[in-house]
Structures are given as structure tokens and as C-alpha cells.
Chain A
Amino acid sequence: IAGITQAPTSQILAAGRRMTLRCTQDMRHNAMYWYRQDLGLGLRLIHYSNTAGTTGKGEVPDGYSVSRANTDDFPLTLASAVPSQTSVYFCASSPNGENTEAFFGQGTRLTVV
């Protein structure tokens, strides 16, 4: 693994189903983030984690949960997917927070039908 990896790269999900998007980084970055990107709305922060063991809510957290059990992993869970959660999801990490470069995963394209 080099950098930040997301899985799956794409998924079609039935509404009401539970889904976890995986994100792993091998750079030992303290901060990690989940964004969704929608046409005309740009990137919106869902949840973030400044260090392992801590998480915080971003701009659009409803319907999503995260955990940060260790430095490397930051999974995003949709407890009961709805069509409005159809989006491209990006995981990102940065060494020490928002004044340093953020590295992005390749994105997960999620379609909820």
C-alpha cells in the first residue's frame, strides 16, 4: 500500500442496506477526513478525525458514522442508505490538520437505488 487507499472503487447499493466504505493510509498521518462530492455542490466534509481515537462531525454528517480505532484506518458507515447518499466519496489524510497538504484516495462512486 502506498498513500491512501479506498475500497470499493464503486458500488451499487439497495436503499435501506448498510454499507461501510473503507479507507486506509500508510503515511502515519494524524488527521483523516471523509468528503462527498456532488455536482454543483463541490466537496463537503462528512466527518473528520484529528487523531486516532477521536472523531468530529463535518458539514453533512447525518446518515453517516465513522470510527478511528487506529491511525491507519478510518471507515465510513451508512447505517441505512438512501438515494440522496448517491455521490462520490473521498477519503483524505494530512499530517497535522488543515494547514498541511491533504492526500486523497481515488474515491468511491456509490449509487443508492
Chain B
Amino acid sequence: AQKITQTQPGMFVQEKEAVTLDCTYDTSDPSYGLFWYKQPSSGEMIFLIYQGSYDQQNATEGRYSLNFQKARKSANLVISASQLGDSAMYFCAMGANAGNNRKLIWGLGTSLAVNP
């Protein structure tokens, strides 16, 4: 079965420090994508970063990087130099295009609080 697990319901980090948000996944599909989204208290869902299962290098987008360890089936999000505006819910999701039942599988999210 396809599944996304985020084991950290809540995280705290000091401003300007780096933080890692965990995400593990389970799938038997050979081709899949891994996503991270941010949802601030205002409610909108903001795409952060994407990693394809065949990508050789870890994805990076500004202060966001994805630590992709395929053998361990993990796709952790690393936020460097945390800012107060990074306080939000963070969701890991997985997409697969095998078969007709197409959908994104979502984790339950991690709430990140950045302390000044």
C-alpha cells in the first residue's frame, strides 16, 4: 500500500538555525514523485520542492533542500537559516503515475514553530 508518514507532529527551531522535517514513504511503484508543501495559518497551500524517484541529485530550492534517501524510502525536508515566516504546517506528499488510480498521497503534516 502507498503511504506517507510524518512522525513529528510538532517541531520547534530557533531563528537562523536549520531544521529537518522527516518524511518516509512506502510504495511499490518504480516511478513516483515526492513533494513538500507549506500551509501557513492563513490556510493556503504553497508548493515548496519536488523530487523525482529517478533524480540522481537531491532537489534544492533556495533555503529548502530535500534529503532523498531512496533505499531508506525517506524524503526529509531541510530548511536552512529558519525565519519567523517559516512557522507553518508542512506536508509531505507522494505522487505516482502507475495505473489508472492516480492520486497524491499525503502525510498528516508537521507543525513548525520558529522561535525568535
Given contacts A48-B102, A104-B45, A106-B43, contact A97 B91 (CB under 8 A): no
The answer to whether B44 touches A33 (Cβ under 8 A) is: no
Number of A-B residue pairs at CB separation under 8 A? 63
* Min CB gap A21→B, angstroms: 15
Tell whether, in the assembled complex, residue B47 and residue A102 are in contact, meaning their CB atoms are under 8 Å apart. yes
> What residues of chain B lie closer than 8 Å to A40, measured between beta carbons?
108
A83 at the interface (CB under 8 A from B): no
Q: A31-B102, A58-B103 are in contact. Are A42 and B109 (CB under 8 A)?
A: yes
Q: Given A98-B95, A98-B97, does the pair A103, B47 have CB atoms closer than 8 Å? A: yes
Contact B43 A45 (CB under 8 A): no
Bound Cα distance A31, B46 (Å):
18
Binding site for B on A (CB under 8 A): 31, 33, 40-45, 48, 50, 56, 58-59, 88, 90, 92, 97-104, 106-107
Q: What are 23 pairs between A and B in contact, CB < 8 Å?
A: A42-B91, A42-B106, A42-B107, A43-B93, A43-B106, A45-B103, A48-B103, A56-B100, A58-B103, A59-B103, A97-B95, A99-B97, A100-B95, A101-B35, A101-B50, A102-B47, A103-B47, A104-B45, A104-B46, A106-B43, A106-B44, A107-B43, A107-B45
